[in-house]
Amino acid sequence: MANIKELSRRPECLAAGHRLCGGCGASICVRQVLMGVPDDVYPIVGSATGCLEVSTTIAPYNSWKVPFIHNAFENAAATMSGVEAAFKGLRRAGKIPADKKMKFIAFGGDGGTYDIGLQSLSGAMERGHDIVYVCYDNGAYMNTGIQRSSATPKGAWATTSEVGVAQQGKPQVRKDLASIIAAHGVPYVAQSTVGHWKDLVAKAEKAIAVDGPAFINVMAPCPRGWRIGSDETLDICRLAVNTKFWPLFEVENGVWKLTPVKEKNLRPLEDFLRPQGRFKHLFRSGNEALLDEMKADVAAYWAYLEGRVEGSKGL
């Protein structure tokens, strides 16, 4: 991985002055991922409709310093697959120099990745296109009003998973998208957060270096939707990891590697949940069982990952 001095000298691909909210995880995610692009590689970026797209490309303004393609909500992976195929075709035809290095990188929120764009993402991964798909996972359809997505955690409030007599936030567990993509047999899958820049940049470098499809799922908090302060984004990510709510891991050619949490950094799940307004109802009298259920879910998923790590050692 490039050191901090080298990273600081790399040109910014996303200009300042865009209209994303203060503390938005999406812009932090983009900057950190694109820091992983080597100096001799030219990135071509696409984005599904969502907060990132609508806030960085409001006509006649554009915050991107690299070629940028706006895609519909459902087809970011398909579009970047087509651009990658066209590039290879033009290079075979001699219209692009053989030594020209480009990388095709798609960004999408969880609405455009876990849900609406899952079909095109799965197709791109299965066909083996040389693209990197990055999900900036903020846990809901933030751009259209904080509606729940399949990435919304169990127990979280959203405008379509309300808190009341019938239910206490979203009743279902979050979809495990990283495992779904890993099941496609692609060369590289990883999970990280915007609060762990060394981890995310290192994983981005690996994903970009891969010859074939790669996927990174990145926790990218939305202060507005999570009901946190705009200065709490990175701290919340670190609490997510230290409570084991959001494990850091990667899958390289079928081999699973889990980043363990140091014993001194371990925190109870409540330390991650309590600062977020979307979980405040969990601490009301009568919701003790739901909180215990969520703790059991976290423990079960961690055990599942440990099992995948042990099971893949024999590959």
pLDDT tens string 281-305: 999 999 999 999 999 999 999 999 9
- How far apart are the C-alpha atoms of 126 and 133, rounded to whole Å? 13
CA angle 224, 226, 231 (to 5 degrees): 70
Strands 42-47 and 102-109: parallel
Spacing of C-alpha 227 from chain mean position: 19
pTM metric for this prediction: 0.96
pLDDT at 138: 98
3-state secondary structure of 82: helix
**Cβ(220)–Cβ(29) under 8 Å?**
yes
Task: Name the helix (H) or strand (E) containing 247.
Answer: none
pLDDT at 199: 97
Nearest to 106 by CA among 75, 85, 127: 75
pLDDT at 314: 65
Adjacent-strand bridge partners of 14 = 64
pLDDT at 315: 58
Sheet holding 214-219, edge to edge: 68-70, 42-47, 102-109, 131-137, 214-219, 188-193, 248-252, 255-259
With tokens 């991107």, the residue in question is: 64
Domain 4-312 falls under CATH 3.10.450.50: no
DSSP result, 163-230: BSSS-BS--SPPP-HHHHHHTTT-SEEEEEETT-HHHHHHHHHHHHHSSS-EEEEEE---HHHHT--T
Q: What stretches in the chain show pLDDT beneath 70? A: 2, 314-315
φ/ψ (deg, to 5) at 258 = -105, 130
- How far apart are the C-alpha atoms of 235 and 309, rounded to whole Å? 27
Q: Could you give the angle at which helices 233-242 and 25-34 cross, rounded to 10 degrees?
A: 80
pLDDT at 5: 81
